[in-house]
Copies of this chain bind each other. A is one copy, B any other.
Amino acid sequence: MVNEYFKNRKTIRRYSSQDVPEGLLKELIAAAAGAPTTGGMQLYSVVVTRDSEMKRQLAPHHFFQKMVSEAPVVLTFCADFNRMDKWCEASDAVPCYGNFQSFLSAMLDVTVFAQQFNTAAEMAGLGCCYIGTTTYNAPQIAETLKLPPMVLPVVTLTVGYPAEPDAEPKAERLPLEAIMHDETYQDYDRERIKALYAEKESLAINKQYVEENGKSSLAQVFTDVRYPKSNNEAFSKVFVDFMQAQGFKIPF
């Protein structure tokens, strides 16, 4: 039986004034650390922001999304080979992790850890929101949080008790057959794609986005407004330069 939680969960963007107890937060971070991790290495760290001055400093790096200033707790999850490197250096071992595969391992580890935190927190009655701007302004976030070399901010979660959970939209998702392939990948032709995205395109909220932005299709809202080429390319350059400056070379 699939736990009912998974069918009903939703992202929470508005929080009540109730604080998140420090004991609960620590228990949840410990629970998250029980998630799978590459070779048991735990290639991650989490920086906890509660201080309002620190939230004020982080706000512009997240383009002033209100969740960052309004949530009682902001968590910045970081891919982290610094601790591993320091352990090696203290143990007569020569670390060798400034390469792309090690970056990928740390990316997987930190994301699995963040998602297990998200699940444990939601199950404990908290609400969370992933903030997608962390990799866009990674250099500035790293400076604010004083991240050393071999540490990269990857994922931010805002955390608090839900203010109006019923007012938060339920996520829309593609039909199962759009994402699941039996034995080999079944590529999509134009007709199948149109069918798979038909329900998404028909939703009132999505028709509204198309109209408000003066576009002729929902896909254009993504390509021209939400994730335009110029932003994608500018932020790609920033991140690639920054990850190499932090010590993760491409390819090594």
User: CB within 8 Å of B: which residues of A?
Assistant: 1-3, 6-7, 9, 11, 24, 26-42, 44-51, 54, 78, 82-84, 86-97, 99-102, 104-105, 107-108, 111-112, 114-116, 118-120, 123-124, 130, 132, 135-136, 145-148, 151, 154-155, 171-174, 176, 178-185, 187-188, 190, 193-194, 196-197, 216-220, 222-224, 226-229, 232-233, 235-237, 239-241, 250-252
Give the top 10 A-B pairs by smallest Cβ distance, nearest first.
A96-B229, A91-B219, A6-B31, A93-B219, A111-B111, A91-B217, A100-B236, A236-B251, A240-B251, A115-B115
* A187→B233 contact, CB < 8 A: no
Given contacts A99-B233, A146-B184, A187-B148, contact A178 B223 (CB under 8 A): no
Chain B residues lying within 8 Å of A184, measured Cβ to Cβ, are: 47, 54, 145-146
Chain B residues lying within 8 Å of A9, measured Cβ to Cβ, are: 34
A74 to B180, CA, bound (A): 13
A180 to B237, CA, bound (A): 29
